[in-house]
């Protein structure tokens, strides 16, 4: 499942390729035909992400540059995938929910606001298998976002809200980090890794985690997730802790390392299922407090 870093990165890629341009939208699979008809012939003016939710703002070609009146809202879920490309798009295949294609040469009527647009040349974006794909009004976007907790990647993400929601709960901190109304964008990898880096036992009740520890978790997530946007993958280990391992093999402290020695203390990494997802931790580095 893509975590918030990849959704944020995707928003940037879509802005780069489609920003400022009029697009033709279609749903070769048919399931999104009505939504595609609403968007077709309008201009991509904004892209945004909140947690694992992606938003692409559209406006009529002649409208003021940055004001979207329709938003495409996508949640990729387990199987969703965007494929981006340039030149003539390929023959549609599979369950292609949505195809966006820039209209040729439309970059010329950019209006100048979107300097980050791709310039001339055909660009396309194909969306397959999303959990959610719909067209929302600006108010509809507000409603979706109101259900989400703060996102460490957003400038408007408020850590005080995160701290307050964790401390209001007797659920485990490991479960709460994955609840999107507590904290938006964190998935299984960041959850396991940030708890390890904080030396926090995953089964600590939310209300028992001190505020300064939660603030430190938030700050750590901000740094790790920003790096994850740039890299397009999640790396949480310090180079000195990788034991000479490269790439994916050396990227994590505990995630998917059950039974392997902890990179810091050598104790075998533990695993358990929590709310249907696998949890990983070091029983020694993350011993229960007290
Ligand atoms: Zn350890």
What is the spatial distance between Cα 254 and Cα 270, in angstroms, rounded to a whole number?
8
Which one is predicted more confidently, 289 or 72? 72
* Residue positions annotated with a catalytic role: 2-3, 52, 277
- pLDDT > 50? residue 131: yes
Contact at 8 Å (CB) between 51 and 145?
no
**DSSP class of 268:** B
Distance CA 187, CA 136 (A): 25
Structure confidence by residue, pLDDT tens digits, 152-164: 999 999 999 999 9
Cα(253) to ligand 1 centroid in Å equals 9
Give residue 113's pLDDT.
43
Q: Mean pLDDT, to the nearest integer, of 206-235?
A: 97
Task: Tell me the three state secondary structure of residue 164.
Answer: helix
Task: Name the pLDDT band for 207 (thresholds 50, 70, 90).
Answer: very high
* Distance from residue 195's CA to the centre of ligand 1 (Å): 12
- Percent over 90 (pLDDT), the chain: 89
Give residue-wise pLDDT tens across range 66-116.
Answer: 789 999 999 999 999 999 999 999 999 999 999 999 987 544 444 444 444
pLDDT, residue 1, reads: 78
Helix (H), strand (E), coil (C) string for 169-221: CCCEHHHHHHCCCCCCCCCHHHHHHHHHHCCCCCCCEHHHCCHHHHHHHHHHH
Q: How far is the CA of 157 from the centre of ligand 1 (A)?
A: 31
Distance in Å, CA 217 to ligand 1 centroid: 18
The whole-number pLDDT of residue 289 equals: 83
Rounded CA separation 144/54 (Å): 11
Cα 162 to middle of ligand 1, angstroms: 27
Residues 167-195: tens digit of each pLDDT: 999 999 999 999 999 999 999 999 999 99
Quick one: pLDDT at residue 111?
A: 43
282 CA to middle of ligand 1, Å? 5
Q: Please give all residues whose CB falls under 5 A of ion ligand 1, grouped by chain where several chains appear.
A: 262, 264-265, 267, 282, 284-285
pLDDT of res. 64? 72
Q: Which of 99-113, 118-132, 214-228 has the lowest mean pLDDT?
A: 99-113
What is the Cα–Cα distance from 43 to 107, expressed in whole angstroms? 10
């Amino acid at each position: 499942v893509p975590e918030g870093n990849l959704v944020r990165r995707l928003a940037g890629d879509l802005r780069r390729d489609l920003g400022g341009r009029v697009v033709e939208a279609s749903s070769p699979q048919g399931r999104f035909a009505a939504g595609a008809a609403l968007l077709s012939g309008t201009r991509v003016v904004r892209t945004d992400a909140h947690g694992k939710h992606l938003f692409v703002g559209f406006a009529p070609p002649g409208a003021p540059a940055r004001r979207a009146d329709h938003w495409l809202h996508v949640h990729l879920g387990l199987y969703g995938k965007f494929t981006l490309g340039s030149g003539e798009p390929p023959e549609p295949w599979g369950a292609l929910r949505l195809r966006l294609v820039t209209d040729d040469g439309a970059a010329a009527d950019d209006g100048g606001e979107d300097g980050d647009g791709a310039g001339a040349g055909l660009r396309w974006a194909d969306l397959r298998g999303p959990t959610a794909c719909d067209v929302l009004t600006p108010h509809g976007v507000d409603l979706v976002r109101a259900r989400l907790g703060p996102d460490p990647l957003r400038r408007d993400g408020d850590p005080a809200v995160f701290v307050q929601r964790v401390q209001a709960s007797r659920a485990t901190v490991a479960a709460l980090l994955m609840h999107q109304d507590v904290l938006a964008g964190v998935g299984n990898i960041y959850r396991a890794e940030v708890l390890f880096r904080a030396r926090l036992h995953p089964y600590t009740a939310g209300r028992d985690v001190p505020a300064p520890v939660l603030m430190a978790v938030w700050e750590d997530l901000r740094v790790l997730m920003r790096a994850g946007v740039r890299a397009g993958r999640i790396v949480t280990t310090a180079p000195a802790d990788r034991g000479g391992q490269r790439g994916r093999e050396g990227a994590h402290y505990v995630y998917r390392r059950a039974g392997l020695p902890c990179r810091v203390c050598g104790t075998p990494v533990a695993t358990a299922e929590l709310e249907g997802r696998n949890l990983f931790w070091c029983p020694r580095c993350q011993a229960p407090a007290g």
